[in-house]
Structure 1
């Protein structure tokens, strides 16, 4: 096989996100439930025989050399046997906003590792790809893990969960939230109580827990606060990740459509279905 087309790099939602401590090196310790969606960026891959790795689409504000897609491809390429001349042309169709808390860049990197591991016949197991991905970002291993998950540590300790089989409405408030700024805030909650899977597994649908980052992001970015307030009129609205996107689970697709029809024109909004498995999971070696 020389090519893979329209590979979905799915978005994720943090159904809840608790900050439970801080490591000596400054990294925050988290607990969260990660939910995959059937919406995300789309990537195309074509194998080259000259060793060149090239992003063939322009992404404003993302230089090719710093793009996680290119970095992921080169990271995997460095593990190939000496003398290998395999490279790739990679096209990226961005549908997820940067700084939205949906894991877009991390998901793109994970899809790149999974797709090229297959196309290059690199032979890496899921665990090996997850270890590579962690050096690119804390969320990358989750997407390679390929299942909805209870996440701990800095997000790298994962336990499979069922997640939610429902429709979601997602609002993009039109701002990019820089994650480091949220975690630096002096008023960030850093001592939420530890939970276990049975604590939340039967109550996710009813809106278990909270997002400890939401108060800070809403204070710093008024559009985030406005989107949460507006969507909360229709259901259990919450920010995902460090923001800026806001979401609400829906009882049906019809409910999602009704909410979407009412979203103020100043915001972009869309609906997506929760899924239980990454679309490229079938390419993975255990």
Structure 2
């Protein structure tokens, strides 16, 4: 049976930089919240040993796409650990892209995570989620959180996860049609002298903030204007190191009311937060094993 899988978006309810490694990677503390909205992936295994990606967005059809990189990485690990012929590990992957690129919603990381989790099941490679999460750090630091699939506090460079439960809220997500590259935003950030890791309880009780927001607002007046407008109605800030702005509401009706006030030159959608990733919910519903 062919299944289609949701590759969910995330928002960073807060994001703080706590240091920098000698290799340029930044240490962070962030709260990852999944949304019931995202891309979809249809993955069909084959015995040809080829991995092919199909999507209407031609800019995504290159060997550096996170989906292809993730599939090839899992294939390599599976080949050496199982002794099976490499032709056993093939797939056609169909991507329906809804998460804007460079938005801070984690689309590329989510796609890679969904690819790893689903192919691990279809190929019967039987790696645990923790093993997949460790493997995924070779691709990107946000991917482990998507693989483990819970609302979580992320620390280190993305490898330290502290799952938590939060009250599920409704969010208005606004994309101002400005794609951003994470490396460009990080390159403009200067580590604060007093930056240091804080206790999780302290972070959860404090007012949430994103350390990159002032940089983004200074560089993009359009984003600053949208945040100012939305903040009149609800707590609003950027997510991750992207250009998307989110506003938090207690109910869908309130989010819809503010959504109707948005200018015509921006995109937006409304989504509910979930404590368990929709990808994981689908596995539970279909009685499929993660291994």
Q: The TM-score by the shorter chain falls in which range? A: over 0.9
**8 Å CA contact 1:96, 1:104 repeated in 2:** yes
Do residues 134 (structure 1) and 137 (structure 2) align?
Answer: yes
Counterpart residue number, 1:219: 218
**8 Å CA contact 2:189, 2:215 repeated in 1:** no
Do residues 173 (structure 1) and 176 (structure 2) align?
Answer: yes
Q: Which moved more, 1:45-54 or 1:220-229?
A: 220-229
Residue 194 of structure 1 deviates from its aligned partner by 2.6
Q: Which moved more, 1:187-196 or 1:81-90?
A: 187-196
**8 Å CA contact 1:126, 1:284 repeated in 2:** no
**8 Å CA contact 2:56, 2:96 repeated in 1:** no
CA distance in 2, matches of 1:58, 1:147: 30
Counterpart residue number, 2:230: 231
Q: Which moved more, 1:221-230 or 1:268-277?
A: 221-230
Distance 1:169 1:189, change over 3 A: farther
Match of 2:31, SS state, is strand
Counterpart residue number, 2:104: 101
CA distance in 2, matches of 1:121, 1:108: 19
**8 Å CA contact 1:19, 1:190 repeated in 2:** no
Q: Counterparts in 2 of 1:178-197, with a 5 A limit?
A: 178-185=181-188, 187=190, 189=192, 191-197=194-200
Match of 1:56, SS state, is strand
Stretches of structure 2 that go unaligned for 5 or more consecutive residues are: none
Counterpart residue number, 1:256: 255
Q: Counterparts in 2 of 1:28-43, with a 5 A limit?
A: 28-43=26-41
Match of 2:114, SS state, is helix
Q: Counterparts in 2 of 1:28-177, with a 5 A limit?
A: 28-80=26-78, 81=82, 82-85=84-87, 86-177=89-180
**8 Å CA contact 2:189, 2:212 repeated in 1:** no
Counterpart residue number, 2:19: 21
Give CA-to-partner distance per residue, 1:108-163, whole Å, 9 cap, x none: 00000011111111101011110111111000111001101011111221000113
Residue 218 of structure 1 deviates from its aligned partner by 1.3
Match of 1:65, SS state, is coil
Residue 226 of structure 1 deviates from its aligned partner by 1.9
Do residues 280 (structure 1) and 279 (structure 2) align?
Answer: yes
Report the TM-score when normalising by structure 2: 0.91
Distance 1:188 1:233, change over 3 A: farther
Match of 2:272, SS state, is strand
Distance 1:166 1:222, change over 3 A: same
Residue 183 of structure 1 deviates from its aligned partner by 1.1
Instruction: Report the RMSD for the aligned CA atoms in angstroms.
Output: 1.7
Name the structure with the higher helix share. Answer: 2
Match of 1:102, SS state, is coil
Distance 1:186 1:94, change over 3 A: closer
Match of 1:215, SS state, is helix
CA distance in 2, matches of 1:241, 1:186: 13
CA distance in 2, matches of 1:100, 1:182: 12
**8 Å CA contact 2:117, 2:290 repeated in 1:** no
Report the TM-score when normalising by structure 1: 0.93
Residue 61 of structure 1 deviates from its aligned partner by 2.1
